[in-house]
């Protein structure tokens, strides 16, 4: 049979085949943006924690690591005004993110909540500030260790969630290929030929669901989470 | 010939329809059962919410004169809430579907966590941990069933609500003249806010937590403003700081009585 004539005779079939080929060539949609966002967030947490949870120290430290700031500014040789030298971790933007939405007009002069966290305890407000300061440090450190466990837990569940999401997108892509192949059933084609493409994807789908089951085995009892 | 054919003719059976109906009947029964269970869990959760709020209001009634007796009563009420209402919640869940029905009982559990942590802070000045709360709930479950354990998400949401109550407490303590206590509350709330700032983005479906973080920031700022005002303008608050004697020393004048 002359293939050229059959294609010419059935242009609809040709366009459907091209459509199926286009969909199957598309890569699964893995959320790299979300992975990147998560990685950056983890980096910031480690910087924040390295400076004992002090946001101002976390911001100052990389700047001071380049040397005395005044010297850097004055010396024409050692200080190159590039973006790299002046880059600071954006911890404050994350703290600001929660405060910007509904922050009332400032009642205190030139203070922000983050400043107060640093300065209030340093000033030792209230009578018995020394004893109060020590006990507050004890409470803070115990709270830090308590919440540290939660961070680990949330990170773990976040990783599992990312893996499930990427797998779900692959399953969705495979389903689209199967569905596109089954759409040929509306054409005057023999059913076995139409089912052939969908059948070939069934193996892929089974494999993907197997991988999903393995991930769900890692967190028993949390299927509905 | 026709009679022979009629004799051997088999009656038509719509077998596929009855098999499908049976299948769907099973689904209907399952869903009805699940919905009934959900209704019962919601009812139990509402009772937990109501009684936890009573505990919180009880704690707010404490002042420096009656602190011990009020806290004792609040702790008894909390224990009664645990034994009567949390145990009913545990019984309705029957050791299954904790995550499936989480939405049905989450608010009750959050309120319970808020009440329990509030009582602990007023008693000891420290944070009640999740493991401690879960250890009090473990005996409520049947030995054969999986025990109800409060998950980290509900615990953190309850903790976010706690800061609102602590704000009310701090303002109340300042008006009663207990400025040091208010300072302790301020530090505690600041610590919670700082820790939750790191955790909130990592939580599942953190829209609820984001809203609570905004409210929490407002509470933190109210406490800070109140403590700051007392510290800076403290001399004007001397009549509130525990003594009823009028003191003109801030004006540089001696007492008229001495």
Distance CA A108, CA A121 (A): 17
Please indicate whether, in this complex, the C-beta atoms of A153 and B227 are within 8 angstroms of each other. no
Residue B75, both tokens: 């702790």
Residue of A nearest to B213 (CA): A98
User: Both B179 and B107 in a single domain?
Assistant: no
Q: Of B106, B134, B162, which closes a domain?
A: B134
Residue B18, both tokens: 């009855």
User: Both B130 and B212 in a single domain?
Assistant: no
**Residue A80 CB coordination number (10 Å):** 9
Report whether pLDDT(B83) > 70: yes
User: Both B38 and B124 in a single domain?
Assistant: yes
Interface list for B 31-50 with A (CB within 8 A): none
User: Both B230 and B169 in a single domain?
Assistant: yes
Range in A39-43, A198-202, B143-147, B226-230 the model is least confident about: A39-43
User: Both B39 and B81 in a single domain?
Assistant: yes
User: Both B233 and B170 in a single domain?
Assistant: yes
What does the pLDDT profile of chain A (225 residues) look like in tens digits? 444 444 444 555 555 555 555 555 554 445 677 777 777 777 777 766 665 555 555 555 555 555 454 444 444 444 444 444 444 444 444 444 444 444 444 444 444 433 333 333 333 333 444 455 666 677 677 778 788 889 999 999 999 999 999 999 999 999 999 999 999 888 888 888 888 888 899 999 999 999 999 999 888 888 888
Min Cα–Cα distance to chain A from B203, Å: 6
Please indicate whether, in this complex, the C-beta atoms of A139 and B224 are within 8 angstroms of each other. no
Mutate to test the interface with B, among A48, A99, A112, A154 (most CBs of B within 10 A): A154
Please indicate whether, in this complex, the C-beta atoms of A136 and B187 are within 8 angstroms of each other. yes
Nearest to A108 among B194, B203, B228 (CB): B228
For residue B199, list chain A residues with Cβ-Cβ distance below 8 A: 147, 150-151, 154
Q: Is the ipTM of this complex over 0.85?
A: no
Q: Is residue B196 part of a domain?
A: yes
Q: Does the CB of B97 have a partner CB in chain A at under 8 Å? A: yes
Q: Is residue B142 part of a domain?
A: no
User: Both B156 and B90 in a single domain?
Assistant: no
Would you say B40 and B31 are in contact if contact means Cβ atoms under 8 Å apart?
no
Q: Is residue B141 part of a domain?
A: no
pLDDT digits (tens, 9 = 90+) for B151-186: 999 999 999 999 999 999 999 999 988 899 999 999
User: Both B187 and B155 in a single domain?
Assistant: yes
Nearest to A143 among B98, B184, B195 (CB): B195
Tally of domains in chain B: 2
* φ, ψ dihedrals at A83, nearest 5°: -65, -30
User: Both B128 and B188 in a single domain?
Assistant: no
Would you say A212 and A171 are in contact if contact means Cβ atoms under 8 Å apart?
yes
Min Cα–Cα distance to chain A from B76, Å: 26
Q: Of B69, B99, B134, which closes a domain?
A: B134
For residue A125, list chain B residues with Cβ-Cβ distance below 8 A: 183, 227, 231
Q: Is residue B27 part of a domain?
A: no
Q: Is the pTM of this model over 0.80?
A: no
For B172, the domain range is: 151-242
**CATH code at position B231:** 1.20.58.200
Q: Of B102, B134, B166, which closes a domain?
A: B134
User: Both B123 and B177 in a single domain?
Assistant: no
Distance CA B251, CA B240 (A): 17
pLDDT band at residue B75 using 50, 70 and 90 as cut-offs: very high
User: Both B130 and B167 in a single domain?
Assistant: no
Q: Is residue B210 part of a domain?
A: yes
Q: Is residue B26 part of a domain?
A: no
User: Both B167 and B216 in a single domain?
Assistant: yes
Would you say B196 and B156 are in contact if contact means Cβ atoms under 8 Å apart?
yes
Q: Is residue B173 part of a domain?
A: yes
Q: What count of Cα atoms within 13 Å lies in the side-chain half-sphere of residue A113?
A: 28
Q: Is residue B146 part of a domain?
A: no
**CATH code at position B49:** 1.20.58.190
The stretches of A101-222 forming alpha helices (DSSP H) are 113-123, 129-182, 191-217
């Amino acid at each position: 049979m002359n293939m050229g004539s059959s294609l010419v005779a059935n242009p609809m079939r040709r366009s459907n085949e091209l459509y199926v080929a286009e969909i199957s060539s598309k890569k699964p949609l893995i959320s790299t943006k979300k992975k990147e966002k998560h990685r950056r967030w983890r980096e910031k947490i480690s910087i924040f924690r390295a400076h004992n949870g002090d946001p101002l120290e976390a911001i100052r430290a990389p700047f001071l690591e380049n040397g005395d700031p005044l010297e850097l500014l004055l010396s024409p040789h050692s200080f190159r005004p590039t973006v790299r030298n002046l880059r600071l971790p954006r911890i404050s933007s994350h703290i600001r993110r929660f405060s910007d939405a509904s922050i009332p007009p400032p009642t205190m002069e030139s203070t922000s909540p983050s400043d107060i966290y640093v300065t209030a305890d340093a000033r030792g407000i209230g009578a018995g500030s020394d004893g109060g300061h020590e006990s507050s440090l004890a409470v803070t450190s115990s709270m830090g260790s308590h919440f540290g466990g939660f961070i680990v837990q949330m990170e773990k569940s976040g990783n599992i969630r990312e893996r499930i999401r990427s797998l779900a997108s692959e399953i969705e892509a495979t389903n689209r290929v199967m569905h596109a192949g089954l759409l040929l059933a509306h054409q005057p084609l023999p059913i076995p030929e139409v089912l052939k493409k969908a059948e070939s994807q069934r193996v892929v789908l089974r494999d993907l669901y197997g991988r999903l089951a393995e991930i769900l085995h890692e967190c028993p009892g949390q299927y509905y989470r | 010939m026709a009679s022979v054919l009629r004799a051997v003719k088999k009656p038509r059976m719509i077998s596929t329809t009855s098999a499908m109906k049976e299948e769907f009947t099973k689904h209907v029964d399952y869903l009805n059962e699940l919905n009934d269970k959900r209704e019962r869990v919601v009812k139990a959760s509402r009772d937990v919410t109501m009684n936890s709020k009573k505990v919180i209001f009880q704690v707010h009634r404490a002042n420096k004169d009656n602190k011990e007796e009020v806290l004792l009563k609040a702790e008894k009420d909390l224990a009664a809430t645990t034994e009567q209402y949390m145990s009913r919640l545990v019984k309705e869940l029957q050791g299954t579907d904790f995550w499936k029905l989480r939405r049905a009982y989450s608010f009750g559990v959050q309120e319970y966590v808020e009440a329990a942590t509030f009582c602990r802070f007023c008693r000891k000045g420290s944070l009640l941990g999740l493991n401690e709360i879960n250890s009090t709930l473990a005996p409520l479950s049947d030995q054969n069933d999986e025990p109800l354990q409060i998950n980290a998400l509900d615990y953190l949401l309850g903790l976010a609500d706690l800061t609102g109550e602590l704000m009310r407490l701090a303002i109340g303590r300042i008006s009663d003249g207990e400025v040091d206590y208010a300072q302790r509350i301020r530090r505690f709330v600041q610590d919670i806010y700082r820790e939750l700032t790191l955790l909130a983005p990592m939580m599942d479906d953190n829209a609820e937590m984001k809203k609570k973080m905004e409210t929490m920031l407002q509470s933190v700022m109210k406490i800070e403003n109140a403590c700051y005002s007392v510290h800076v303008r403290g001399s004007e608050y001397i009549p509130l700081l525990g003594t009823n004697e009028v003191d003109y020393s801030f004006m540089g004048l001696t007492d008229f009585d001495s």
